[in-house]
Amino acid sequence: MARIDLPQRGLHLEYERHGDPNGRPLIMVMGLGMQLVAWPPALIEGLVAAGVQVIVFDNRDIGLSGSGELAPTQSMATSMLRYLFHRPVRPAFTLDDLAADTLALADALGLQQFDLMGVSLGGMVAQKIAWRAPERARSVVSFMSAAGPRAAPWAKLRVLPKFLSRPPKSASFEAQVAHFARLFEVIGCLDDAEEKRVMRARLEVALRRAYRPAGTARQLLAVLADPDRSAEVAQIQCPVTLIHGEEDPLVPIAAMEHLQRLLPNATAHRIPKLGHYMPTWVIPILVDQVGEHLSRS
């Protein structure tokens, strides 16, 4: 892992670079509140074996990265009410800021052009980069993502209470792990005992590395403040591959179907039995689908 200062953005980002530094660069953008260690090692290894140079990093306000300048915001409860009543939400930073951070990271690493893979919120950031910097984004893989929360159906009712809650500040490490394990069991549709064990082990690694719930909340505000980017997404010109789990209860697959209508030339993959998570069994599928995407583009 390495830290890179981005003075023009007023922060630093923690990142990792895998594979041949002369290989084709793929910048992978993680989802809401998730750190770079959330990328399964087998996925990175599979892409590196295919000759890809993989760059992963902590988004601002998460993991070991800086927060940058934070604009004043309202409480999460007030912001949610404003969103529900179609009133503007004031975020501490925007999806455009996250996109600009990613572009600044690419500049610092000397990457003029690159491919992008984004998961969930990271897919939104990747879409934003492809729209605002078409000369930089060679292609996009948008994984279990959407054109904005108003461009997708609501999450399943059984998911929302767990998704919007968090452990009390006084919670022990074990209680934190248990809380997020229950969340990922629900959104990931996990029922296999070995998969749950692997998931808990990954959670323990992440929570020992960093735990920044306020940063996660501020990232959620950035999503709510940019509720429908359909007009932007429809203007993306680079090759796009859409990947989504058919059982995703957090970002239902109708979100991908909407992206398909906006991007009729995009390649789309529906993965049966997959929720909003990357279990062990899906990694070879993702390596193949991303590899095919890079070959086509």
Taking CA atoms, 37 is separated from 81, 197, 244, in Å, by 33, 17, 21
Nearest alpha-carbon partner for 186 in 280, 119, 273, 275:
275
Residue 66 inside a domain? The answer is yes
Count up the domains in the chain and report the number: 1
DSSP state for residue 50 in the 8-state scheme: T
In this predicted structure, the answer to whether residue 1 has a pLDDT above a threshold of 90 is: no
Taking CA atoms, 117 is separated from 49, 161, 242, in Å, by 17, 29, 10
Taking CA atoms, 89 is separated from 107, 176, 221, in Å, by 30, 29, 7
Domain, as residue range, for 106 = 2-154+212-296
Using pLDDT thresholds of 50, 70 and 90, give the confidence band for residue 162: confident
Separation of alpha carbons 107 and 114, rounded Å: 11
Please state the rounded mean pLDDT for residues 81-90: 95
186 alpha-carbon distance from chain centroid: 18
CB atoms within 10 A of CB 74: 14
Query: Per-residue pLDDT tens for 215-256?
Result: 999 999 999 999 999 999 999 999 999 999 999 999 999 999
Residue 17 inside a domain? The answer is yes
Query: Per-residue pLDDT tens for 8-45?
Result: 999 999 999 999 999 999 999 999 999 999 999 999 99
How high is the pLDDT of residue 291? 97
Residue 232 inside a domain? The answer is yes
- The enclosing domain of 46 has a CATH number of 3.40.50.1820
Residue 188 inside a domain? The answer is no
Using pLDDT thresholds of 50, 70 and 90, give the confidence band for residue 123: very high
Taking CA atoms, 226 is separated from 12, 22, 150, 204, in Å, by 24, 36, 9, 32
Residue 187 inside a domain? The answer is no
In this predicted structure, the answer to whether residue 157 has a pLDDT above a threshold of 90 is: no
Separation of alpha carbons 259 and 290, rounded Å: 18
Residue 204 inside a domain? The answer is no
How high is the pLDDT of residue 164? 84
CB atoms within 10 A of CB 66: 18
Please state the rounded mean pLDDT for residues 198-216: 97
Six-digit token string for 183: 């969340």
Please state the rounded mean pLDDT for residues 256-285: 98
Write down the mean pLDDT value for the chain.
96
Residue 183 inside a domain? The answer is no
Using pLDDT thresholds of 50, 70 and 90, give the confidence band for residue 169: confident
Residue 40 inside a domain? The answer is yes
